[in-house]
Amino acid sequence: MATGSGDSAAVKIVWNERQKRFETEDKKAYLQYELRNGGKLMDIVHTFVPSSKRGLGLASHLAVAAFNHAQSNSLSVIPTCSYISETFVPRNPSWKPVLYSEDLKSSI
């Protein structure tokens, strides 16, 4: 079973502001987001890792980069992507305070 922790120092994630992505340098793995509510909300709509690189924690590195960015810029995250809502946040509950609240979400 791979945890991905052994690779963490080697993984470089780049913020592609124009395309609203966090991605690997080769652009093959990425996390796609949309900005909502005048730029105050980061809606993470999709995460993709090529099948040959799955299960190594790469999506987790992408998510950490996105959540760090959101926190540093006072953005709240909408976890539309199931990887974020069902896997990343439950496994990393310390990021829960950065999530947008469900109650407010329905009024967007």
Question: Is 81 assigned a catalytic role?
Answer: yes
CA–CA dist 17, 43 (Å, integer): 14
Among 22, 48, 95, 100, binds ligand COA (CB under 6 A): 48
Going residue by residue from 82 to 101, which x/- string records binding to ligand COA, judged by CB under 6 A? xx--xx--------------
Distance CA 73, CA 53 (A): 30
How, if at all, do strands 30-36 and 13-16 pair? unpaired
Q: Which residues of 15-26 are buried (b: 16+ CB within 10 A; e: fewer)?
A: eeeeebbbbbee
The mark string for 8-47 relative to ligand COA (x by CB under 6 A, - otherwise) is: --------------------------------------xx
CB 48 within 8 A of CB 63: no
Among positions 11, 49, 64, 98, the unique one binding ligand COA when judged by CB under 6 A: 49
Q: Which of 7, 14, 36, 56 binds ligand COA (CB under 6 A)?
A: 56
Q: Which of 29, 66, 75, 81 is the catalytic position?
A: 81
CB of residue 104 to ligand COA, shortest distance in Å: 22
**Number of other residues whose CB lies within 10 A of the CB of residue 65:** 18
Residues annotated as catalytic are 81
